[in-house]
Amino acid sequence: MPETEKQFLPSLLVKALLLLVALLGQWGSYSLGSLRAGILMYFTNQSNLLMSLVTAACIMGLLMGRALPRWMWTLKYVATVAVTLTYVGFHLLLMPVLWRSGHGDYYWSLSNMGVHVLAPLLAVLDWALFTPPSRARRVRTAQGLLMPLYYFGFYLVCSALGVRFGAGDRAPYFFLDYHKLGWLRIGKGGMGVAYYIALIALLVLLLGQGIRCLPRWDEGEE
């Protein structure tokens, strides 16, 4: 993973901090009694785990002086878009619910600051500063949909098998609970799951396009 001497140490430090924060956030999630048995059932934790694995591979590449294969850059992009979605989705959809239910102090917990806030911000920073534009141009915005689409399929399979989430919930997030919201229903202060999915897909495409355009340091073609 070629880096100029000027970039090597900052890149290593950002990646190491990202990996540490993501792992601490996962540990914080595990420490929550209601989630301990199934933290990896949630998109947030799955996307952070993917980001952790990709970041660990990037650190190894840096230390060994090896270039990442093209597919790894694509996977890094997919992971970066996924954790960015956790940041935006949490603040737009989930945090207001927590505040209304009197659980706003969760925002400052180790779990939340790790997986919902600091890890996504560091992932975007890492992509922006240390991804060669030549690599960023080769990813496609639609590839950012891969992780959300996978997770939606994962949820549908779990739902069909009767798997419960968290404290016995039928869905990991309220906006995916088609038993309660329906698929195309609109009214009574809410809307069906299909509309949430469409809005989230649009958000992912916007985030993905923005992330693709972030790199500024051209390290040359590899």
pLDDT in tens, 172-199: 999 999 999 999 998 776 799 999 999 9
Predicted TM-score of the model (pTM): 0.89
Share of the chain above pLDDT 90, in %: 61
Q: Quick one: pLDDT at residue 211?
A: 94
218 band by pLDDT with thresholds 50, 70 and 90: low
Higher pLDDT, 160 or 132: 160
For the stretch 138-176, pLDDT in tens is 999 999 999 999 999 999 999 999 998 877 889 999 999
SS (H, E, C) 3-54: CCHHHHHHHHHHHHHHHHHHHHHHHHHHHCCCCHHHHHHCHHHHHHHHHHHH
- What's the pLDDT band for 136 if we cut at 50, 70, 90? confident
Band of the pLDDT at 37, cuts 50, 70, 90? low
Task: Give CA–CA dist 6/4, Å, rounded.
Answer: 5
User: Does the structure show a pLDDT above 50 at 1?
Assistant: no
> Which DSSP helix (H) or strand (E) runs through 191?
strand 190-191
- Domain spans of the chain? 5-212
